[in-house]
Each structure stands twice: as C-alpha cells, then as structure tokens.
Amino acid sequence: DSGVTQTPKHLITATGQRVTLRCSPRSGDLSVYWYQQSLDQGLQFLIQYYNGEERAKGNILERFSAQQFPDLHSELNLSSLELGDSALYFCASSVSGQTYEQYFGPGTRLTVT
C-alpha cells in the first residue's frame, strides 16, 4: 500500500459524458501527478500540482482539467469523453515537486462506451 488513494476504482460511462477522478496523496506529500495508461501502453504524464498550484503540464487534452485543493487532494476532470479516453488513470504523489520518488495510487479504470 503506497498511501495514495484513488476513487473510484472503476468507472463506466458513455461518450460525451463528464467524470471526475479523485486522488488523496500520501500524508505529507505536497506534489500530485496525474498519468494516463492505455491498454499495455506506457505512462503518459498529464499534469502536476505542487501545494495547490499547477507546476508542469504534459500531454493533457483541453477537454481534461485538474486542480489541487487546500487539503492537497486532487481531482482530474474529463469531459466530452471519447472512446479513446478509456484507460487507467494513475495519480502519484511525492514530497516535493522536484526529484523525489513518486508513490502511485492503485489507479482508476475508466471505460467509455
């Protein structure tokens, strides 16, 4: 158990819908990262927040957005969903925003039908 929690575990929704994925970082970690992993693929970095502020942006679509709240939990919002958005979404946290190891949550599996 990494100490990072993600909810929900599974999510099935239809194209065009909007969903919110939630992540609670490890106690004491200030940085949260979001990744997308399609079937048997690598990890695509989406976005990073550090202490409530956006720190780095990766290959995040305009239909996707995220935020980190004062209690440091983070939410990833995915809208106008398409079939290709079906994937495993991981959240990770680290102590700082720099070169510290990341602790990954169990992931949320999103299926868009």
Tell whether residue 90 is a contact of other proteins (CB under 8 A).
yes
Paired sense of beta strands 74-78 and 19-24, if any: antiparallel
Tell whether residue 107 is a contact of other proteins (CB under 8 A).
yes
Tell whether residue 26 is a contact of other proteins (CB under 8 A).
no
**CB of residue 55 vs other proteins: minimum separation in angstroms?**
6
**CB of residue 3 vs other proteins: minimum separation in angstroms?**
12
**CB of residue 80 vs other proteins: minimum separation in angstroms?**
25
**DSSP-derived secondary structure for 48-100:** EEETTEEEEE-S--TTEEEEE-TTS-EEEEE-S--GGG-EEEEEEEESSSSS-
Tell whether residue 97 is a contact of other proteins (CB under 8 A).
yes
